[in-house]
Amino acid sequence: MSGCGSEWPCEACATPIVYSGRGAPRKFCSQCMPPGARAAEWRALDCERVRLSNAARRRGPFPVVCQDCGEVFEAVRRDSTRDPACQAERRRARDRARKARDRSLGRRG
Ligand SMILES: [Zn+2]
Ligand SMILES: [Zn+2]
């Protein structure tokens, strides 16, 4: 995932805008958009979006059937598919597998 280094023309004067990777992408170049002019607007928009997506995700707890053990548990997040115990167990298993793989491949880097 590398969204840095993207570039697009300013909507007003077509000067190429390079996205610095910080904050919301801008539609206008620094000449057309005075510093801070839209920042508050963007921030407010962003806040709202984050709040909404958080609210949509966090409507729990609600009952979910664990994918691993089939038991019903109370999930707080909408994308939860395993109960905390199975999730921890899976994480441990993945960790072990990764360590074993690392060892068999030898150290790199
Ligand atoms: Zn411009
Ligand atoms: Zn489970």
Q: How big is the CA angle at 87 (ends 76 and 90), to the nearest 5 degrees? A: 165
The pTM (predicted TM-score) of the whole model is: 0.39
Distance (Å) from CA 26 to ligand 1 centroid: 10
Average pLDDT over residues 20-46: 71
More confident residue, 82 or 40: 82
Distance (Å) from CA 83 to ligand 2 centroid: 5
CB 28 within 8 A of CB 12: yes
- Count H helices and E strands in the chain, helices first: 2, 4
Q: Where are the domains of the chain?
A: 7-57, 62-105
The pLDDT score that the predictor gives to residue 109 is 59
Rounded distance, CA 18 to CA 35, Å? 15
What residues contact residue 46 under an 8 Å CB cut-off, 6+ apart? 24
> Does the structure show a pLDDT above 80 at 49?
no
Rg, C-alpha atoms of the chain: 23
CA of 80, nearest ligand number: 2
